[in-house]
Structure 1
């Protein structure tokens, strides 16, 4: 069988409602827009979007390695040797990050909405096709496992989760499917690629690619487009910010899409800089801020929690915490005077009041910041604390946590 390596990327007209492709059988079917506004030519294999890897050599990581990326044995891009430049782009331009090592889970079947409604903290029953949300998977006692970003599609719900929790969450979901439930859980991580754009000029790239109809839509909104007959889903926001965009596509299209994004000025960012950005933004991560030690409200994840949707896993604990004001500690940012180690104690007046969970030196090692849990009555924003034996710190608000809105 022969394959052609010369192809084009097609983006639908932003003014045509018919360009929003309703069939979301990602990644089963190819989409074809009714109207074409722009045509950007580049190298891409004209293959159907299938659940098996493409039968040709289309390795994005090989291309990135040739371009100077440092790739780990498990296929994660650590750095492009431009970490500070990429972090600058987040503030002044736009950065693009390959998060294909993050987990993607497809939940389908007639009972999928009710199933996820019962298994996580968000209210899925009020959402409609094309919308999205953050939701938290918790233990029966509301201890945190991971935050998932969910897209509500026509015939399925797609979840993006951390690479370290993917298998645990899949196993957990399958465990709670009962005999009569019409629910299917599918791991589509290896059959898809995921990029995120972040930075104030992200909108300009969307507009340049003819995707202006997604700009200024609410967080979690997503639409389907076509790349050379293969589907690409573009969503508003990314895992650490409500600004920017997430792009889900076939691995066969990934290299071409990556090149197009770079061609429009996006600066590539590796996972090392992404981790720095995660901490600076204040987004909790599994095995750090999200563990069996802390519940979902201590992690301050109010936007992902419904308090009035009825029974779901962890609901009784969450209701008691709210009713009786039982939240004893809260996750904060801590601006420090010198580097500290995760696990270090946080003290006020010689008394232990918390623990550091993450730390970064920040951009150009000039923005040292930690994340940590602090007892509610011990310190809050603007207060001074001591980390370890003698490192001075100040409790600060960080963007991701600042956007969380507790109930009045």
Structure 2
């Protein structure tokens, strides 16, 4: 669905995310608690990142993929003392609960619990997030690696905004939600609406299920190199991903596209008469029209002039994804 023209409130929130601090209520995202003795080995085997190297207090992004390495969801995992808490996309929680459950065999000591209803999630976005996190008592996280987290009075404070912008994510008991939300606003954060978050998601290139994450694409085409371990042992989809990396076999990449007008997602991307890809997301921003789309690698990258339907566009890099082969 195309995102329509913005209002002043959204423009102010996006400016705050870029130059100050904004807050987004992500409580409608899913939260799955993975517990019992085999939890790290299980997640290690079911997704692209290396969970077995993580200690309590650490975290990572990982991609859930099919057996042929097609993308299901981009997930953030936080390793706790007695469990791993997964933050999953809003429309993926039930699917992932059922999908993961299929891979729990008789001898596996793994328990999956959907804790979405009893928890809430906020993300602070922007360079001034440090100021608020300090005032909330979690200043020890400042400067720590992505995914690092601490728990204070039942609230998990974690490094990472969910976007390419600096920030933090808080996961808390739902009973604490109203009080902590008001406190964050009192400390100067500007609220991001769903629409403003979606604009930032598209501008920064965070892929979303059913749009950029589908059965048509694998994590390397998306550009989620930071979520893929090439050194760990076997996992679902590993053979396909290893082969793509070894033989440099990536046929298409996700890019940002500066557009000169409104375009519907799903529109064909062309260079001259040649079809080179497809638009997956579109938004209108304070700076103009912008989209995400997959473009065949042979067609080119940054600076490529394209036609999206009837609308001219230019390919640009987006900060959330990378198309560099790891050295």
Give the whole-Å Cα distance in 1 for the aligned partners of 2:7 and 2:121. 18
Q: Specify which of 82, 104, 116 is matched with residue 177 of structure 1.
A: 104
Q: Specify which of 291, 297, 313 is matched with residue 370 of structure 1.
A: 291
Note the residue ranges of structure 2 that are not aligned, 5 or more in a row: 1-5
1:317 and 2:240 matched: yes
How many residue pairs match? The answer is 322
Note the residue ranges of structure 1 that are not aligned, 5 or more in a row: 1-78
1:284 and 2:203 matched: no
> Residue 392 of structure 1 aligns with which residue?
312
The answer (yes or no) to whether the contact 1:80–1:269 under 8 Å persists in 2 is no
Structure with greater Cα Rg: 1
Instruction: Give secondary structure in 1 for the equivalent of 2:198.
Output: helix
> Residue 116 of structure 2 aligns with which residue?
189
Change (3 A) 1:80 1:255: farther
Give the whole-Å Cα distance in 2 for the aligned partners of 1:81 and 1:170. 39
Give the whole-Å Cα distance in 2 for the aligned partners of 1:188 and 1:393. 43
Give the whole-Å Cα distance in 2 for the aligned partners of 1:237 and 1:135. 14
The answer (yes or no) to whether the contact 2:34–2:83 under 8 Å persists in 1 is yes
| Larger relative contact order (CA 8 Å, sep ≥ 6) | 2
1:22-66 Cα deviation digits (max 9, x unpaired): xxxxxxxxxxxxxxxxxxxxxxxxxxxxxxxxxxxxxxxxxxxxx
> Residue 83 of structure 1 aligns with which residue?
10
Give the whole-Å Cα distance in 1 for the aligned partners of 2:291 and 2:39. 38
1:95-148 Cα deviation digits (max 9, x unpaired): 111110000000001000000000000011111110110000001000000000
The answer (yes or no) to whether the contact 1:96–1:269 under 8 Å persists in 2 is yes
Instruction: Give secondary structure in 2 for the equivalent of 1:400.
Output: coil
The answer (yes or no) to whether the contact 2:255–2:316 under 8 Å persists in 1 is yes
Give the whole-Å Cα distance in 1 for the aligned partners of 2:325 and 2:319. 15
Give the whole-Å Cα distance in 1 for the aligned partners of 2:80 and 2:165. 19
Change (3 A) 1:214 1:144: same
- Counterparts of 1:7-406 in structure 2, within 5 Å, are 82-226=9-153, 231-241=154-164, 243-363=166-286, 366-388=287-309, 390-402=310-322, 406=325
Instruction: Give secondary structure in 1 for the equivalent of 2:207.
Output: coil
1:370-407 Cα deviation digits (max 9, x unpaired): 1000000102111111111x3111100011114x7532
Give the whole-Å Cα distance in 2 for the aligned partners of 1:208 and 1:189. 27
The answer (yes or no) to whether the contact 1:80–1:268 under 8 Å persists in 2 is no
The answer (yes or no) to whether the contact 2:126–2:165 under 8 Å persists in 1 is no
Give the whole-Å Cα distance in 1 for the aligned partners of 2:249 and 2:288. 33
Give the whole-Å Cα distance in 1 for the aligned partners of 2:299 and 2:281. 20
Instruction: Give the deviation of 1:320 after TM superposition.
Output: 1.2
Instruction: Give secondary structure in 2 for the equivalent of 1:298.
Output: helix
Instruction: Give secondary structure in 2 for the equivalent of 1:322.
Output: helix
Instruction: Give the deviation of 1:200 after TM superposition.
Output: 1.1
Instruction: Give the deviation of 1:241 after TM superposition.
Output: 2.7
Change (3 A) 1:107 1:318: same
The answer (yes or no) to whether the contact 2:125–2:165 under 8 Å persists in 1 is no
Instruction: Give secondary structure in 1 for the equivalent of 2:134.
Output: helix
Instruction: Give the deviation of 1:94 after TM superposition.
Output: 0.7
Instruction: Give the deviation of 1:326 after TM superposition.
Output: 1.3
Instruction: Give secondary structure in 2 for the equivalent of 1:276.
Output: helix
The answer (yes or no) to whether the contact 1:135–1:304 under 8 Å persists in 2 is yes
Q: Could you state the TM-score of these two structures normalised by the residue count of structure 1?
A: 0.77
Instruction: Give the deviation of 1:81 after TM superposition.
Output: 7.3
Give the whole-Å Cα distance in 2 for the aligned partners of 1:80 and 1:234. 31
Segments of 4+ moved more than 3 angstroms: none
Give the whole-Å Cα distance in 1 for the aligned partners of 2:70 and 2:8. 37
